[in-house]
Structure 1
Amino acid sequence: MSKSTLESLIGATAYDERGDKIGKVKQIYLDNQSGAPTWAAVSTGFFSHDSLVPLAGAEHRPDDDSIRLHVDKELVKTAPYHDGSRISAQSEQELFRHYHVDPRASGWNAEGRPRIRPEDDAPMTHGNPAPTMRGQSDTARYGDDSMVRSEEQLRIDTESEEVGTARLHKSVVTEEQTFKVPVTHEEVHVEREPITDRSGRTTIGEEDREVTLHADQVHVDKEAVPVERVRLAVDEVEDEKTVSETVRKERVETEGIDDRRREH
């Protein structure tokens, strides 16, 4: 694989096999035996360090500056920790097991086909990362009398996770309802009317008369009717959380330098 192809990988956007974005490629690691690119350090934002992902089976797309890796994003989240230095043989075996990669076909070329190791029993320990984008190491670029100061930076990402459930439950309760219903009923009273024409005859004796009385009776019936529709609606509420983490950084101190010379 040419140096220009490796340079085009640095800064490329890495996607998993389903097309989900993982992060940016920061560095490429080469196999000591075959020289084939084998691992990529990707800045995922999941942690404060870069994650190592296998390049076996990856498809590079220089036209849109992206690379599709033959891994699942969830595996990258749980990958073994790596501090960015040389990959040891033990660490590499852990990575092979984690990503289910065959060590004999862990190399990669620009066409996305696995590159087979020339010797099956050769150690797979990797050396230093591949050269930088300009093809020069830090020492070559800055000279032997310079020093590179590094520091840790926090990369913070958010991930949606389940924190609880909400549900609707319908139960039956009873309540007493009171209504006033207008009703009517019949009552009897005595009306007396004097008789002025006394020409007729009458007899004296016992006699009965009956009057039928009526009254309204109240009847109560029950009927179930729908009165309301209830549903659960989820609202997304913006909030802010404060997170703290300790980071390390290097400090450069000088010895044997006359501070008075620097003032001129």
Structure 2
Amino acid sequence: MIDQTHVEALYDCDVIDNRGEKIGSVKRVWLEDGTGRPMWAEVHTGLFGMKESFVPIQQGQVAGGAITVPVAKEQVKEAPSVHTSGDHMSDQEQEALYRHYGMRIPQAKTGEHDRLGEQAEVTLSEEKLDVGTRDVETGRVRLVKHTVTEQRNVTVPVTHEEVRVVREPVKGNAGKAFADEQAEVTLHREEPVVQKRTEATERVRLEKDAVTEQKTVKGEVRKETVDVERDDKRRR
């Protein structure tokens, strides 16, 4: 089985199919992300070596400067075309290759071309607090009229009549002498009379004013951090 130790020796090797026929020569080696294990060989095929085909090499055998792979030459010729961008091929293109060769699609599918500095990257995320406002009902205010009875004292001038005897001298015959006689006078007085009337004294209304104040809110947010872990498998 081919592993990382064979990478440098794979370039320009002849690729032989499962019937001993030459498929082409290796021009690039594609590695599996994360493990660095050789997965695919980009092989130049055709009469003048102008066509590029991808051949699975993880189950191949290296011997005598050639790689023997467990697939047929015709199957390689019919493999789907892969248009790589840089040092990666898309997941869809890799899945198409796995299906074509009848291989199980692994968890990590994207190959990576062998190069001096391999890169591994992860995307870190963190939560942010989005603070806004919303209107909530805090209470209701209404105007209610009540009738209140109170006592009022008002001084009113009143007039009444009184009897006063006025004596005046009489000249001549002024009436019957020595006869009983009565005279009546009707007396009057004013009495207070209370009448009530209703009149508007004032108008009361409610108005709302918006008051802005500062409030502090707090909340818990999560964020991702990365630690580099190294598995050292060298024996002492």
Same fold (TM over 0.5): no
Query: Normalising by structure 2, what TM-score?
Result: 0.44
Query: Normalising by structure 1, what TM-score?
Result: 0.40
Is the helix fraction higher in 1 or 2?
1
Q: Which has the higher contact order (CA 8 A, sep 6+)?
A: 1
Greater Cα radius of gyration, structure 1 or 2? 2
